[in-house]
């Protein structure tokens, strides 16, 4: 068992570099199970409370799948209408009650700070699956894990990397959290590309500078020839004051194969937190990139399962037992 066993995972701020490396080592060891080369029953009998008070299909299913892949069961809730919260129940009470129904909880809630408040009442470990505009630590971890894995194939590590972040850096929660995690590493070059109105918030800029990293702020994609990572984002339309305001920026930073070839080196890895907006007027990441081997966006979501498996295993103190409860996979698969 590690010092994370039994603890909540609420924020990227709670991690030291050593902890992240531990998580990533465990995540990597989960690959054979996710790829169906074998299966494990280490958590058979354990129950995940997958509490999505705000709907989010893919994050919810990803958590559930990760728990199933370890052999555990999942009890779920989606949405908040008709819930006890609507009858005036406090988050503390909800947490006391629902934590009696599972061994661990993954929770998403529309209100910033709510997951932390819930965790204070919970009798089992809580993993934050997104609390409004505040935090979504498992997304940041899967992004960073993807960076590490992709660069490894290129013979590099995270230290010394050059990352270009593009688009809505103001409302895009994922670029904030990823930047904070990168502050734990050495000698990073950040190129932040956005319209001035959608610039990275000051506190993130300050964190990058305090960590001694190199920072380039610009509003155009140029001279990216030595970027290792191109992290493209979606305009977070739902967080803008109005649709008109959001429309101003739609399609402002598009990436397609032609633009990629002109501005980036041939091995620059393309990332995106997904979903990408593929409607003509937005189209921030063109489908013509789908055949580009450096498009890592679906490897990102696959890695999300590995990272969530790792967090469950570590939090429940079974990371060293996973292979002990290993079995053959007897059904057809083309994932391995």
Residues of span 315-334 touching a copy of itself by CB under 8 A = 315-318, 321, 325, 327, 329-334
Q: Is 101 in the site for a copy of itself (CB under 8 A)?
A: yes
Letters for 180-199 (x = contact with a copy of itself by CB under 8 A, - = none) are --------------------
Q: CB–CB of 108/49 below 8 Å?
A: no
- Other C-beta atoms closer than 10 Å to the C-beta of 4 total 20
Question: How far, in Å, CA of 178 to CA of 203, rounded?
Answer: 13
Q: How near is the Cβ of 235 to a copy of itself at its closest, in Å? A: 10
Partners of residue 76 on adjacent β-strands = 50
Distance CA 317, CA 88 (A): 36
**Separation between Cα atoms, residue 23 and residue 311, nearest integer Å:** 7
The stretch among 168-176, 192-200, 206-214, 313-321 that binds a copy of itself (CB under 8 A) is: 313-321
Among residues 43 and 182, whose Cβ is nearest to a copy of itself?
A: 43
> What is the spatial distance between Cα 139 and Cα 67, in angstroms, rounded to a whole number?
17
CB of 7 to a copy of itself, least distance (A): 10
Q: Interface residues for a copy of itself in 145-164 (CB under 8 A)?
A: none
| Nearest one of 152, 115, 121, 158 to 137, comparing CA atoms | 115
Stretch 194-233 residues interacting with a copy of itself (CB under 8 A): none
Under the binding rule (CB under 8 A), the answer on residue 77 touching a copy of itself is yes
With CB under 8 A, what is the number of residues at the site for a copy of itself? 81
Please name every residue paired with 107 in a beta bridge, in sequence order, or none if there are none: 51, 128
* Residue 106 interacting with a copy of itself (CB under 8 A): no
Percent helix, strand and coil across the chain, each to the nearest 5: 40, 15, 40
Asked if 64 interacts with a copy of itself (CB under 8 A), we say: yes
Q: Which stretch binds a copy of itself (CB under 8 A): 84-92, 151-159, 172-180, 196-204?
A: 84-92
Alpha-carbon distances of 166 from 95, 115, 234, 290, rounded to whole Å:
38, 29, 9, 19
Residue 133 main-chain phi, psi, to 5 deg: -80, 0
List the interface residues with a copy of itself, window 260-279 (CB under 8 A).
274-279
Could you tell me which stretch among 64-72, 135-143, 193-201, 239-247 binds a copy of itself (CB under 8 A)?
64-72
Nearer to a copy of itself, 96 or 267 (CB): 96
Of 186 and 325, CB closest to a copy of itself = 325
DSSP H stretches of helix in the chain:
17-29, 31-34, 57-69, 91-98, 114-121, 137-153, 173-182, 202-210, 243-247, 257-263, 297-315
Binding-site string for a copy of itself from residue 14 to residue 43, where x marks contact by CB under 8 A and - marks none:
----------------------x--xxxxx
Question: What is the nearest approach in angstroms of a copy of itself to the Cβ of residue 144?
Answer: 18
Distance in Å, CB of 94 to a copy of itself, minimum: 8
> Is 129 in a helix, a strand, or coil?
strand
Of the pair 180, 272, the CB lying nearest a copy of itself is at 272
Residue that has been written with the tokens 């921030």 in this structure = 284
CB of residue 57 vs a copy of itself: minimum separation in angstroms?
5
């Amino acid at each position: 068992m590690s010092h994370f066993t039994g603890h909540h995972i609420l924020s990227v701020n709670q991690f030291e570099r050593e902890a992240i490396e531990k998580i990533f080592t465990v995540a990597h060891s989960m690959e054979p199970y996710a790829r169906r080369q074998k299966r494990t029953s280490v958590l058979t009998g354990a129950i995940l409370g997958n509490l999505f008070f705000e709907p989010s299909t893919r994050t919810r299913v990803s958590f559930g799948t990760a728990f199933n892949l370890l052999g555990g069961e999942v009890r779920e809730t989606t949405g908040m209408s008709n819930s006890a919260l609507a009858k005036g129940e406090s988050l503390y009470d909800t947490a006391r009650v629902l934590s009696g129904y599972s061994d661990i909880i993954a929770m998403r809630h529309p209100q910033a700070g709510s997951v932390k408040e819930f965790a204070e009442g919970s009798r089992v470990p809580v993993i934050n699956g997104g609390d409004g505009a505040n935090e979504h630590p498992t997304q940041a971890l899967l992004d960073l894990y993807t960076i590490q894995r992709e660069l490894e194939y290129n013979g590099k590590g995270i230290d010394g990397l050059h990352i270009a972040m593009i688009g809505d850096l103001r409302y895009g929660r994922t670029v904030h959290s990823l930047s904070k995690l990168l502050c734990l590493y050495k000698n990073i070059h950040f190129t932040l590309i956005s319209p001035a109105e959608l610039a990275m918030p000051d506190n993130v800029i300050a964190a990058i500078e305090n960590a001694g990293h190199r920072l380039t702020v610009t509003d155009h994609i140029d001279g990216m020839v030595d970027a290792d990572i191109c992290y493209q984002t979606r305009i977070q339309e739902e967080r803008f004051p109005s649709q008109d305001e959001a429309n101003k920026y739609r399609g402002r930073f598009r990436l397609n194969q032609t633009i990629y070839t002109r501005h980036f080196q041939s091995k620059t890895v393309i990332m995106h937190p997904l979903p990408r907006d593929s409607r003509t007027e937005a189209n921030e990441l063109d489908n013509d990139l789908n055949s580009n081997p450096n498009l890592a966006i679906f490897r990102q979501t696959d890695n999300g399962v590995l990272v969530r498996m790792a967090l469950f295993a570590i939090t429940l103190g079974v990371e060293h037992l996973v292979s002990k409860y290993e079995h053959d996979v007897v059904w057809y698969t083309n994932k391995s």
